[in-house]
Amino acid sequence: MHPLRSAALCTLALLLAACGGTTTPAATTGTSAAPSAASAEPITVVASTNVYGDIVQQVGGDRVQVTSIISDPGQDPHSYEANTQNQLALSKAKVVVENGGGYDDFVDTMLKASGNTAVEVVNAVTVSGRTAPAGGELNEHVWYDLPSVAKIADQISAALAKADPASAAAFTANAEAFKQKLKPLEDRTATIATQAGGTAVAITEPVPVYLLEAAGLKNLTPEEFSEAIEEGDDVSPQVLAETIALFTGKKVEALVYNEQTSGPQTEQLKKAATDNGVAVVPVTETLPEGKDYIAWMTATLDALQAALIP
């Protein structure tokens, strides 16, 4: 996937100027409780999206103050334009959590410009260990890979512990509690694999592929279609017709549809699925309003299970 667009990165001088200004950091997402009178100031953390911001909050508890740069569930993350507020927040961060893999390159660019060299950076793709397949491209959407999310929680705990050694035991305990919440999701995924493994599905983008693979599902979408949608390019008429034929020919049981990057061609797929009685399973790239990571993945698995298992 192309990096998240950052049109506001006009000049390095402008960004550096923002660090010395009076701009207030971007709004904190989630619930960041203030530290008690007996405790030190909370650890300032910047996450590229509210997915990682929520995991930080669950691991850090009241010892963190989290700013999630991308948090609007109605916005296409790929069209996000980074700004000087983001630059200021990054310049003051003790810990930064980014996705990596080309997804949010603006974070590294801004962090380097800020001169904040003491920050602890957690790169989710690096932590996951996921790499590009031979002759292919890396699927950077590692937040849909539950075992990788467990690793990321541990790495976040370690990064927070470096910033606040006195709270290290609490961070470790919180990370363990979070991973315990992940286990039922992994069990649900295994159940889908047992009951519906081998079932053919289609996607609009590779966003949920790690979860679909773990569930034993077979993606029949032409690679040219999902790659073009991911890159924001038009799909050729031939490839579009080939993809629509998956629904008219009843070759797939579900369409896993990224609601945050819909357009005319993905809408055509959705209509073809609906018209032909194929279930549509919605997914997103950031947390829906009112849900934390666990509730979000639970709802996704609920929808997938309902679509595939009578």
Let me know: does 26 contact 69? Beta carbons within 8 Å: yes
Judge whether 80 lies within some domain: yes
Q: Are residues 160 and 217 in the same domain?
A: no
Q: Are residues 143 and 44 in the same domain?
A: yes
Q: Which tens digits make up the pLDDT trace of 158-198?
A: 999 999 999 999 999 999 999 999 999 999 999 999 999 99
Region of residue 198 (left: phi > 0; alpha: psi -120 to 50; beta: else): left
Q: Are residues 73 and 119 in the same domain?
A: yes
Q: Are residues 145 and 208 in the same domain?
A: no
The pLDDT value recorded for residue 231 is 86
The pLDDT value recorded for residue 82 is 85
Q: Is the pTM of this model over 0.85?
A: yes
d(CA 67, CA 28): 4
pLDDT higher than threshold 80 for residue 36? no
pLDDT higher than threshold 90 for residue 127? yes
Judge whether 49 lies within some domain: yes
User: What CATH number has the domain bearing residue 128?
Assistant: 3.40.50.1980
- The total number of residues shown for the chain amounts to 310
The Cβ of residue 133 has, within 10 Å, a number of other Cβ atoms equal to 9
d(CA 258, CA 281): 9
Judge whether 6 lies within some domain: no
pLDDT higher than threshold 60 for residue 25? no
Q: Are residues 140 and 103 in the same domain?
A: yes
Q: Are residues 115 and 148 in the same domain?
A: yes
The pLDDT value recorded for residue 162 is 98
Quick check: helix, strand or coil at residue 221? coil
Residue that is written with structure tokens 């369409």 in the block: 255
Domain that holds residue 87: 12-183
d(CA 20, CA 5): 24
d(CA 167, CA 145): 28
The pLDDT value recorded for residue 130 is 97
Judge whether 4 lies within some domain: no
The larger pLDDT score, comparing residue 8 to residue 80, is at 80
The pLDDT value recorded for residue 81 is 84
User: Positive or negative CA dihedral for 252, 254, 259, 260?
Assistant: negative
Judge whether 247 lies within some domain: yes
- Which of 183, 209, 241 corresponds to the end of one domain? 183
Give residue 39's pLDDT band: very low, low, confident or very high (50, 70, 90): low
Number of structural domains in the chain: 2
Q: Are residues 211 and 91 in the same domain?
A: no
The pLDDT value recorded for residue 12 is 36
pLDDT higher than threshold 50 for residue 282? yes
Q: Are residues 125 and 74 in the same domain?
A: yes
Average pLDDT over residues 107-123: 96
How far is C-alpha 140 from the geometric centre of its chain's CA atoms? 9
CA distances from 116 to 44, 94, 127, 155 (A): 13, 9, 22, 20
Judge whether 2 lies within some domain: no
Q: Are residues 28 and 162 in the same domain?
A: yes
Q: Are residues 119 and 53 in the same domain?
A: yes
Give residue 73's pLDDT band: very low, low, confident or very high (50, 70, 90): confident
Amino acid residing at 252: V
